[in-house]
Structure 1
Amino acid sequence: MAIALVTGGSRGIGRATAQLLAQEGYTVAVNYHHNAQAAGDVVADIVAQGGKAFAVQADISDEKQVEALFSRIDQAAEPLTALVNNAGILFPQCRLENLSAERINQVLTTNVTGYFLCCREAVKRMSHQGGGQGGAIVNVSSAASRTGSPGEYVDYAASKGAVDTLTTGLSLEVAACGIRVNCVRPGFIYTDMHASGGEPGRVDRVSPAIPMQRGGQPEEVAHAIAWLLSEKASYVTGSFLDLAGGR
């Protein structure tokens, strides 16, 4: 079929997405930053189910590593036709007056610059004008881009606001190049990321305030991503799917 690159594919939403895309016939490039064991486990699970996958290490905030990541994909026998920009970082909950420039820049470099770089390299390979077969990109944003995450993660929320704008602008820029660009905005999903924010049980704490009275599962987000990548969404670009239980 073709290759789907999932950044941050070793855990959470990325892991669920990689597994589902493999079931749908993609050869999945599972990108990871540092946890080779977790990425290897995802690949092993996919292969055990009869799918095809390989792991590729890269820190997407580093331009040279992103270029090397895509060069590795170029060595495969199949073309890249799908990109899921999912890798991201989050730091402990903090009010804005206590944020350091170092923290802000780390968040923006990974969550924004990394997405731009991966989109850049994917477009070069997918664009009809460049001899590509076309393709689809799904950016994983967050409901935080709408709420602002006051008192917790304003820096993270701002980075996701930039992802939303990237999605809109790039979708228009490459619409005539055979490339669709869409975005999912998950709300409170049961993933390890909340532990990075210092509150592993955050989803359970906020669940009563969610209209559907529960947090979401990574697989629920993965199905939305897979639909946006599929031919079933062939006339959809520049669109946003909120997966936040009504919040």
Structure 2
Amino acid sequence: MLATTTSAHAQTAADAALDFARTLDGTGSIVSSDTYLSALESDAAAGRPLALWQLGTMYENGEGVDKDPVKAFGYFAQIANQHADTAPRGLEADIVASSFVKLGDYFRMGVPEAGVSQNPAEYHRMLMHAATYFGDAEAQYRIGMLYQQEDGLGVSPMLSARWLQSAAHKGHCLAQAHLGDLLFNGMEGYEPRQAEGLMWLNFAHVTCLGTGDLAAADELLNRALSVATPETRAAATEMANSGAVVSVEF
């Protein structure tokens, strides 16, 4: 069955972090920021991925601490280095996968303060581990998009569609939107399948509702609708309603 919820990893990690904050003193009430930070640092020193993740995101965003990309990078790197081969299931795996994606962003942008230069190859390597070993939807989506760029992983519409489909079935709304866009419009050497494309674009609209990604998804949908024939629209609706089309044939 097609998933129509947002990618689980961010929500799961956020919920767990809140639960963690509430249980530090065993009362169910969120503890003071100083106590919380101290407890996080203690757990991070013991290598607990959730604490490392929380500290990394706090220093990345300046939440309760001064923004410090060097410290943020260090915490995410510690998770990746110590837990790269954790079993690809459950909360810890979720956080480890997200940390690989975070590290990829630092390699993509560079962290001069930490002596980390822009390194596209490392960016791609971080994404590939998160996408293949952990099945992370965000990483799979990004790889799918990189296969549409000469300066990414090289243009391969078939590989792009495969990676986007993997993320789309996990409910990643932008993956659904870009898979739909690729199928609807086609690429050189890749024939369009407009009904399937429009079906995925419609899925993306529903999945993206209430998120910051809705405008981007709807831009692709509206562009397709502006040229779709009534027959294509009807075929897309029939596919979606039948439930028979849940994957893309290559």
- Say whether the fold is shared (TM-score over 0.5): no
The alignment's TM-score, normalised by the length of structure 1, stands at 0.29
Structure showing greater Rg: 2
The alignment's TM-score, normalised by the length of structure 2, stands at 0.29
Q: Which structure has the highest helix share of the two? A: 2
Q: Which structure has the highest strand share of the two? A: 1
Query: RCO (CA 8 Å, sep 6+): is it higher in 1 or 2?
Result: 1
